[in-house]
């Protein structure tokens, strides 16, 4: 990304908005899908992303009727949680090993839905869809 307004890689406000996890309009769009779920781990000692911000995010998700599992982390186990800094040294592979079976065991009723979601951000529309087991992103004006 750059700050040249004439470049295709210009970091416009729209490109900033799509990356904002607390964008309430985007969360409302997500909440319209059946049984959305978030699993959140956050260190109470994270200096890059304050714990209060994550609590606020989880509160908004719950207000929108998301199913949320929130883990406030204060201790290292040296296997799953390796430190208390931002990211906690958490392994994505271990995260899915720990939670994927649990998610797959949940009833599938009401989980079949259109595999596409769009978010309007200023002059751009970001559309994410699933095709052939891949996530495809299309950005239009």
Sign of CA dihedral 134, 31, 96, 47: positive
Q: Mind listing the pLDDT tens digit for each residue in 124-135?
A: 999 998 888 788
CA atoms of 104 and 108, how far apart (whole Å): 8
Backbone angles phi, psi at 23, to 5 degrees: -70, 105
Task: Confirm if 7 and 84 have CB atoms less than 8 A apart.
Answer: no
Q: Look at residue 110 in the predicted model and tell me its pLDDT.
A: 54
Q: Mind listing the pLDDT tens digit for each residue in 76-103?
A: 999 999 999 999 999 888 998 888 887 7
Give the percent of the chain with pLDDT over 90: 48
Q: What is the mean pLDDT of residues 24-45?
A: 88
CA atoms of 61 and 4, how far apart (whole Å): 35
Task: Confirm if 13 and 122 have CB atoms less than 8 A apart.
Answer: yes
pTM to 2 decimals?
Answer: 0.71
């Amino acid at each position: 990304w750059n700050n040249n307004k004439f470049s295709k890689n210009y970091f416009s406000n729209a490109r900033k908005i799509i990356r904002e996890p607390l964008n309430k309009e985007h969360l409302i769009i997500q909440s319209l899908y059946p049984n959305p779920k978030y699993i959140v781990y956050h260190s109470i000692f994270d200096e890059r992303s304050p714990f209060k911000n994550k609590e606020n995010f989880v509160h908004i998700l719950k207000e929108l009727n998301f199913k949320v599992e929130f883990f406030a982390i204060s201790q290292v186990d040296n296997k799953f949680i390796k430190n208390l800094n931002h990211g906690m040294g958490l392994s994505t592979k271990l995260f899915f090993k720990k939670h994927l079976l649990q998610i797959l065991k949940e009833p599938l009723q009401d989980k079949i839905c259109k595999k596409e979601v769009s978010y309007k951000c200023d002059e751009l529309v970001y559309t994410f869809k699933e095709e052939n087991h891949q996530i495809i992103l299309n950005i239009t004006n």
